[in-house]
């Protein structure tokens, strides 16, 4: 029975529940910052390409008597791993209730496999997973590594809509000791005087720097530069292009790891 248990692991970067399937492979349920829950099935010896397999929750006896439909989804295979995010929350709920996951695999005609989980000691594991999920970072590195913040014409005022991005950046910097530098580059569109635009891009960059420092980012990590109307990313001949050029770009630079991330500890 110990071999049939579900195992939890996690930190602020990822939460994961895994379950070994003897003779086949492993189930995983994974939560990552900013993403949906992902169900995956990894096979030790089976490889399929661009095929799908049905995954369902085996209903309890009383549900079967009431003809209540169980949750169903579809795993998509790429090599020895199949995954899906559709209906994944329902599968987490089923796991907490001690219900069985079942995958029906039809790799070729006249050949069928049925992979079933064992719902042993799932409630505590799901509880740890939910606690971990609450503490995940708002956004992954792929998002915060480069963020463009747009500004209104002739303004260096940060719009409220970008506050969540700045919070996500600050939280990621605090969490990942690999981040060694924060580059802030201020820009302006080509409307008006060149020197005025250069000063405006500077004010915009310093406005972003000030807010990140307020959110806890060490000033020593931040390098601020301003470029005026140089280096546009769109044409200044259109309204939309000028809006894109009025921006501050924030980039995170990674270096050598300084510390390890401690695993998530559930409150008991």
Residues 244-257: tens digit of each pLDDT: 999 999 999 998 65
Mean pLDDT (whole number) for 147-151: 97
CA distances from 112 to 54, 105, 151, 160 (A): 12, 6, 58, 55
Report pTM: 0.83
- What is the SS3 assignment for 7? strand
Domain boundary among 134, 155, 186: 134
Identify the domain boundary among 76, 111, 134. 134
40 and 127 part of one domain: yes
Q: Return the pLDDT at 120.
A: 84
Closest alpha carbon to 74 in 98, 46, 121, 106: 106
Q: How far apart are CA 101 and CA 127, in angstroms?
A: 18
pLDDT above 70: residue 39: yes
In this predicted structure, what is the pLDDT of residue 264?
A: 44
Computed over every residue of the chain, the mean pLDDT equals 90
| Tens of pLDDT, residues 50-68 | 999 999 998 755 455 445 5
Lowest-pLDDT choice from 68-72, 120-124, 178-182: 68-72
109 falls within a domain: yes
| Overall domain count for the chain | 2
% the chain with pLDDT above 90: 83
The pLDDT value recorded for residue 71 is 85
CA distance 195 to 200: 9
Strand positions, DSSP E, the chain: 6-10, 15-21, 25-31, 38-43, 48-58, 72-79, 81-84, 100-108, 111-116, 146-150, 179-186, 222-226, 247-254
Q: Out of 134, 156, 188, pick the residue that ends a domain.
A: 134
DSSP secondary structure code for residue 230 in this structure: -
What pLDDT digit, counting tens, does each position of 61-117 carry? 545 544 555 789 999 999 999 999 999 999 999 999 889 999 999 988 788 999 999
Residues 116 and 171 in one domain: no
Which structural domain range is residue 34 located in? Answer: 2-134
């Amino acid at each position: 029975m110990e071999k049939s248990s579900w195992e939890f692991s996690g930190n602020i970067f990822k939460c994961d529940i895994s379950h070994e399937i003897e003779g086949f492979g492993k189930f995983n349920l994974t939560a990552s910052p900013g993403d949906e829950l992902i169900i995956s099935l990894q096979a030790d010896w089976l490889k399929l390409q661009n095929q799908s397999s049905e995954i369902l929750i085996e209903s309890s006896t009383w549900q079967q008597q009431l003809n209540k439909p169980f949750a169903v989804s579809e795993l998509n295979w790429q090599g020895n791993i199949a995954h899906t995010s559709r209906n994944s929350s329902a599968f987490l709920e089923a796991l907490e209730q001690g219900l069985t996951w079942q995958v029906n695999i039809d790799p070729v005609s006249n050949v069928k496999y049925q992979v079933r989980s064992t719902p042993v000691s799932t409630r505590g594991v799901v509880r740890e997973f939910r606690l971990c999920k609450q503490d995940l970072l708002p956004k992954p590195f792929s998002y915060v590594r480069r963020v463009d913040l747009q500004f209104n014409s002739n303004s260096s005022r940060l719009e409220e809509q970008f506050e969540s991005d700045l919070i996500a950046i600050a939280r990621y910097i605090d969490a990942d000791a690999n981040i060694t530098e924060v580059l802030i580059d201020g820009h302006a569109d080509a409307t008006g005087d060149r020197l005025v635009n250069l000063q405006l891009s500077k004010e915009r960059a310093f406005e972003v720097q000030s807010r990140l420092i307020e959110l806890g980012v060490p000033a020593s990590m931040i390098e601020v530069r301003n470029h005026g109307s140089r280096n546009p990313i769109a044409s200044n001949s259109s309204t939309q292009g000028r809006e894109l050029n009025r921006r501050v770009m924030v980039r995170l630079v990674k270096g050598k790891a300084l510390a390890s991330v401690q695993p998530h500890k559930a409150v008991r």
